């Protein structure tokens, strides 16, 4: 288990003063990055060994969004390794221990020179340790894209600002692309995204909307694909939302 404390910044909130989903994922990713940096297996070690952790899948459930200025604690728990795979939970809590969001994630350790998966070395396992996995509704990390055609919405050309230290589009950027078509009067309660291939500088990412359906508890569920010019898919997201006015808290009340 690894945790760090923070405070919600103005640059991380939406127009209602609540933390954006993309910023929540940034917090989770930063938490795991801090863990490996503090353990001596961070970016410098990765560059020396020509390896990198690439995320395959996120599943996130949000109980309540923190607001501007709130103090929060972010925690990650690596709970399983399988060869080249690493499985991690995350959660965000208030300083008083109220659980705000919970997540599951699947990562692959890749040899960037061979572009092939590589077994997690003992040095990393010693730093991670393994915790008991959190109690949550674990869904399949495979998200099926409907066979019918979706509606093309936005188009994004990948520029340097989208890239991370591995020269690929950072996983949080795909979330931003998908969230770009969610109406402002809706707020995300559950989110899943499966990453299928990496986008790089100069690629074109097309946001394709496959429409929405009403869930049993009267929420909206959308499926959004992020496609390349050749018709293949970079990532596919399933986003469940509800009316923002029904949000449990507002930043300004």
What confidence tens digit (pLDDT) does each residue in 222-252 have? 999 999 988 889 999 999 998 877 654 444 4
Min mean pLDDT across 61-70, 86-95, 195-204 is at: 195-204
Of the ranges 95-99, 208-212, 213-217, which one carries the lowest mean pLDDT score? 213-217
Position with higher pLDDT, 87 vs 213: 87
**pLDDT of 247:** 56
Per-residue pLDDT reduced to its tens digit, 132-179: 999 999 999 999 888 888 888 889 899 998 887 778 888 888 999 999
Query: How remote is the C-alpha of 200 from its chain's centroid?
Result: 18
Taking the C-alpha atoms of residue 41 and residue 126, their distance in angstroms, rounded to an integer, is 10
Strand partners, 94: 72
Give percent above pLDDT 70 in the chain: 97
pTM: 0.89
- Distance between start and end Cα atoms, the chain: 34
**How many CA atoms lie within 13 Å of 158's alpha carbon, on the beta-carbon side?**
25
Question: Angle 80-86-91 (CA atoms, 0-180°, nearest 5)?
Answer: 75
**pLDDT value of position 163:** 86
Mean pLDDT of 197-205: 89
Residues forming beta bridges with residue 247, ordered by sequence position? none
Query: For residue 181, what pLDDT band results from cuts at 50, 70 and 90?
Result: confident
Q: Are 101 and 61 in contact (CB under 8 A)?
A: yes
Q: What per-residue confidence (pLDDT) applies to 91?
A: 98
Mean pLDDT of the chain: 90
73 Cβ contact list (under 8 Å, min separation 6): 3, 4, 5, 6, 92, 93, 94, 95
Residue 93 in this model has a pLDDT that exceeds 80? yes
Q: Which pLDDT value is given to residue 129?
A: 86
Does the pLDDT at position 49 exceed 50? Answer: yes
User: Mean pLDDT, to the nearest integer, of 198-210?
Assistant: 90
pLDDT of residue 246: 64
Judged against a pLDDT cut of 90, whether residue 121 lies above it is answered with no
């Amino acid at each position: 288990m690894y945790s760090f404390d923070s405070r919600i910044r103005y640059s991380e909130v939406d127009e209602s003063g609540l933390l954006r989903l993309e910023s929540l994922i940034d917090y989770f990713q930063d938490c795991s990055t801090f863990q490996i940096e503090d353990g001596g297996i961070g970016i410098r070690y990765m560059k020396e060994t020509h390896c990198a952790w690439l995320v395959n899948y996120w599943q996130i459930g949000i109980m309540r969004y923190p607001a501007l200025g709130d103090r929060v604690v972010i925690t990650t728990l690596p709970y399983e390794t399988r060869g080249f795979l690493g499985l991690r939970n995350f959660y965000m809590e208030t300083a008083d221990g109220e659980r705000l969001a919970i997540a599951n994630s699947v990562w692959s350790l890749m040899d960037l020179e061979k572009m092939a998966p590589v077994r997690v070395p003992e040095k990393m396992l010693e730093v991670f340790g393994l915790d008991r996995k959190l109690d949550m509704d674990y869904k399949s990390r495979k998200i099926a894209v409907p066979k019918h055609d979706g509606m093309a919405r936005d188009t994004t050309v990948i520029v340097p600002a989208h890239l991370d230290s591995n020269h690929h589009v950072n996983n949080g950027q795909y979330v931003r692309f998908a969230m770009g078509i969610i109406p402002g009067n809706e707020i995300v309660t559950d989110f899943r995204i499966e990453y299928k291939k990496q986008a790089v500088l100069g690629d074109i990412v097309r946001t394709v909307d496959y429409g929405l359906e009403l869930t049993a508890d009267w929420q909206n569920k959308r499926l959004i694909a992020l496609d390349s010019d050749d018709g293949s898919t970079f990532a596919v997201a399933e986003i469940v939302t509800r009316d923002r006015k029904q949000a449990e808290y507002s930043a300004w009340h």
